[in-house]
Amino acid sequence: MSRIACILIVDDDPTIRQNIHFILEKGGMKSSMASSGEEGLQRMRTTAFDLVLLDVQMPGMGGLEALRIMRERHPDVGVIMLSVLKDIAVAVEAMHTGALDYVTKDFSPPELIARVRKTLMQLRAGRELERLHDVEEKHVARPMVAGSSPKMRAVMQVAEKIAPKPVTVLVTGETGTGKEVLARYIHARSDRRTAPFVAVNLPGIPANLVESELFGHERGSFTGADRQKLGKFELANGGTLFLDEIGDLAMDLQGKILRALQEHEIERVGGEKPIQLDLRVICATNRDLPARVQEGKFREDLYWRLKVVPIELPPLRDRSEDLGDLAQHFLARAAAEHGRTPQSLSGGALQLLERYRWPGNIRELENVMARMAVVCDSDLIEESDLPYDFAVAPSALLEKSEEQSLEAAMLAFEKSFLRKALKRNGWQRKLTAQQLGIGYSTLKAKLKAYGLGHDTDGDEE
């Protein structure tokens, strides 16, 4: 449920104040009153208001002077100026000073409510755009690391070529391959880079709200629509709209997406007139769209409309030569976030990472490196520091190695387990054997077989 708007009425005429208060309450809004500019500023120090209705002509501090102070002290609060006179010069000065609207006092109740709601919607849209810009700045501060593999070089060449051109892009690939990161990269290199980048995770929106989230809605268009709302298409106007997992979109909405792409216009839910838009659309999916078209679950005309420029991101297992650069990048980022010195990977640890199949792709790698930055105290991450999944990773390569067996996987696990135990005990073999509950000679034999040793062994016989 959305929060009720809170409005401050500043006017020296008590009748005007009461009339406006009554009109706003009838319109479902809360309001407070002040009889002067000074009192209004005092009220704003202690109460959070969304909007101020401010009289131009008042004894003492005039409305324009109060407006200047409000804009300095409370820049997030919108102001509508009220006046008995239709004075163009005063209206222009008020708007230049920061007022969002100028209303004469011969207004009708419906007109005032409409002007207030329009201004509130403008304020909400502005705050949402600021939030989107903040999100975008955080992502820009986290640059994309493409790597040097042939497959990724080909991807980046296409991305660089199409970035300045406002064509629709369809990015495909497994979950976690970095589809949104690539979309942001394209946006950042386009002539729309100073405009919003709006990302929408379609499966994350309740089915009954997807249309409203994408196209917005008018007040009263459905139960709970107590105010007008701008959709993601409008918020992205002038910039880039990223629709993630477009393959999961319901059939009834696919036609509306198609119309928006073809006609460059949308209609809000409950709206009566089309809204013209200028934006770039980048879609992504981990689905096999041609197969879904054959199954009747995805519109063929929409598929071809999206596939103006298709880009397929390879899974991480098919670009192992990039893994070292990506891992070091994520380690450095995690170190900065946690205020520690950057770590590096030993040759053995990197080999284990390269042998792993990475079902979660780059997202999984980022999570593992973040974990290492937190749980591994050493500046050098060794094989034994990695989770056990990586010690037994060869078991995931059965399809590539006919000689791989359960025994081999268990031996790899045992080697990693012993290395962790030794490291935990400062490489003291007798203490390690005691804690593991095995004979010292048995441990020595295993260490010799696995080639495990350490320069600081302090328990030689």
Task: Give the pLDDT confidence of 251-279 residue by residue, as tens digits.
Answer: 999 999 999 999 999 999 998 889 999 99
The pLDDT score that the predictor gives to residue 138 is 55
The pLDDT score that the predictor gives to residue 433 is 86
The pLDDT score that the predictor gives to residue 146 is 81
Average pLDDT (93-103) is 88
Calculate what percentage of the chain has a pLDDT beyond 70: 89
Residue 243: strand pairing partners: 200, 283
pLDDT at residue 425 greater than cutoff 60: yes
Mean pLDDT, the chain, rounded, equals 86
Highest mean pLDDT among 124-138, 142-156, 397-411: 142-156
Is residue 405 very low, low, confident or very high in pLDDT (cuts 50, 70, 90)? low
Q: Extract the tokens encoding 328.
A: 């070091």
Whether the pTM exceeds 0.75: the reply is no
Minimum mean pLDDT range among 72-81, 127-136, 157-166, 254-263: 127-136
Is residue 178 very low, low, confident or very high in pLDDT (cuts 50, 70, 90)? very high
Residue 422: strand pairing partners: none
Highest mean pLDDT among 6-20, 225-239, 377-391, 446-460: 6-20
The pLDDT score that the predictor gives to residue 451 is 76
Give the model confidence (pLDDT) of 181-219 as tens digits.
Answer: 999 999 999 999 888 899 999 999 998 899 999 999 988
Burial class (CB in 10 A: 0-12, 13-18, 19+), 198: buried
Highest mean pLDDT among 134-138, 311-315, 342-346, 429-433: 311-315
Report yes or no: 173 and 315 within 8 Å, Cβ to Cβ. Answer: yes
C-alpha span between 403 and 342 (Å, rounded): 38
The pLDDT score that the predictor gives to residue 396 is 44
C-alpha span between 232 and 219 (Å, rounded): 17
Average pLDDT (80-106) is 87
Calculate what percentage of the chain has a pLDDT beyond 90: 51
Give the model confidence (pLDDT) of 109-118 as tens digits.
Answer: 999 999 998 8
The pLDDT score that the predictor gives to residue 402 is 43
Mapped to the 3 state alphabet, what secondary structure does the chain carry? CCCCCEEEEECCCHHHHHHHHHHHHHCCCEEEEECCHHHHHHHHHHCCCCEEEEECCCCCCCHHHHHHHHHHHCCCCEEEEEECCCCHHHHHHHHHHCCCEEEECCCCHHHHHHHHHHHHHHHHHHHHHHHHHHHHHHHHCCCCCCCCCHHHHHHHHHHHHHCCCCCCEEEECCCCCCHHHHHHHHHHCCCCCCCCEEEEEHHHCCHHHHHHHHHCECCCCCCCCCCCECCHHHHCCCCEEEEECHHHCCHHHHHHHHHHHHHCEECCECCCCCEECCCEEEEEECCCHHHHHHCCCCCHHHHHHHCCEEEECCCHHHCHHHHHHHHHHHHHHHHHHHCCCCCEECHHHHHHHHHCCCCCHHHHHHHHHHHHHHHCCCCEECHHHCCHHHHCHHHHHCCCCCCCCHHHHHHHHHHHHHHHHHHHCCCCHHHHHHHHCCCHHHHHHHHHHHCCCCCCCCCCC
C-alpha span between 181 and 140 (Å, rounded): 10
C-alpha span between 157 and 323 (Å, rounded): 20
Is residue 95 very low, low, confident or very high in pLDDT (cuts 50, 70, 90)? confident
Is residue 52 very low, low, confident or very high in pLDDT (cuts 50, 70, 90)? very high
Is residue 376 very low, low, confident or very high in pLDDT (cuts 50, 70, 90)? confident
The pLDDT score that the predictor gives to residue 401 is 44
C-alpha span between 186 and 34 (Å, rounded): 51
Is residue 141 very low, low, confident or very high in pLDDT (cuts 50, 70, 90)? very low
The pLDDT score that the predictor gives to residue 133 is 60
Average pLDDT (350-373) is 91
Placement of tokens 């701008």 in the chain: 230
Domains defined for the chain, CATH in brackets: 6-124 (3.40.50.2300), 142-314 (3.40.50.300), 318-414 (1.10.8.60), 425-461 (no CATH)
C-alpha span between 65 and 81 (Å, rounded): 12
C-alpha span between 229 and 277 (Å, rounded): 16
Report yes or no: 405 and 419 within 8 Å, Cβ to Cβ. Answer: no
Is residue 49 very low, low, confident or very high in pLDDT (cuts 50, 70, 90)? very high
Report yes or no: 195 and 294 within 8 Å, Cβ to Cβ. Answer: no
Average pLDDT (429-445) is 86
pLDDT at residue 406 greater than cutoff 70: no
User: Which contacts of 15-19 are long-range, i.e. CB under 8 A and separated by 24 or more positions?
Assistant: 16/55, 16/82, 16/105
The pLDDT score that the predictor gives to residue 459 is 54
Report the relative pairing of strands 275-276 and 265-266 from DSSP bridges: antiparallel
The pLDDT score that the predictor gives to residue 239 is 93
Average pLDDT (23-32) is 90
The pLDDT score that the predictor gives to residue 134 is 60
Q: Extract the tokens encoding 379.
A: 């500046």
The pLDDT score that the predictor gives to residue 355 is 85
